[in-house]
Structure 1
């Protein structure tokens, strides 16, 4: 199974009526409804929970193997100083939001920008490891959040490429 992230940008809150017809025509095409991680709603900072946002552009960022993705994500966690427990909400280590996300809800532009700053700061130490596959994973993850960091969001999609309902 693969892992697919969808990043959207050009978000603008939709102020019209969201009925069944609108949902069929727009949701997951050029609009999305903001859902948040109940345990950490600040991941969607700058977006309004339950609101519908139109987006001007979206892009898929895939990883061919779920196993490889998890192995690389775990390697990033170890490198950043995390152990197998959930990162604390006030943990000062880098990438905290990525590890608290648990793929539930959206990551908004504020947190995307913070994650990009973490990726920029840790780029050279990661590159210095000399692990080309891990470095490619790292760069790919960075690109996901760069796409969304100004006016967008990131969603983990299902392995078949569809967005979760």
Structure 2
């Protein structure tokens, strides 16, 4: 059974020096290689693309609970509609949560750095009242679940999205 994609959150990052990103077997435990995306290079802001960072803690936030639970995709649609967009596919320009929604367009495992995490977490903060006012308990549960990785990465962390078969 597939559990689907998940966010991995690494906190308390410290840049490592003297390790070659190619030779992964030489890296100390808890090492993250920062990856970027040509389309959205700002996602890694606050970190150096290609550099290695040691992290103290790592947490995982699964986006799908099982093959049958595809609510995450419905949740994204509700989220973009909540902030005034027609749909995920039609959303354009700058709008709240746009970086979170556009992250799906990036290459696998593109790192979201601490500055972008701050922006996304701030969107969650600013829109919390509206999310709560929907009265949709499942929507709010996902809202809080997906908010958490970006809160943890604020300041000195990173978030990566991974696919898992």
TM-score (norm 2): 0.85
Distance of aligned partners of 1:132 and 1:155 in 2 relative to their CA distance in 1, 3 Å threshold: same
* Pairwise CA distance, 1:3: 2.5
Q: Is contact 1:44–1:108 with CA below 8 Å preserved after alignment?
A: yes
Q: Number of aligned pairs?
A: 155
Stretches of structure 1 lacking an aligned partner (at least 5 in a row): 161-165
Deviations 1:59-105 (A, max 9, x none): 001131462111111211121222323533xx1x2111112222531
Partner of 2:53 in structure 1? 53
- Cα pair distance change 1:17/1:25, threshold 3 Å: closer
Q: What residue number does 2:117 align with?
A: 112
**Gaps spanning 5+ residues in structure 2: where?**
none
User: Partner of 1:24 in structure 2?
Assistant: 25
Pairing partner for 1:98 from 72, 97, 100? 100
Instruction: Classify the secondary structure of the residue corresponding to 1:61.
Output: strand
Q: CA RMSD in A?
A: 1.9
Distance 2:131 2:75 in 1: 12
Does structure 1 residue 124 correspond to structure 2 residue 129?
Answer: yes
- Relative distance call for 1:154 and 1:19 in structure 2 (3 A) is closer
Change (3 A) 1:97 1:23: same
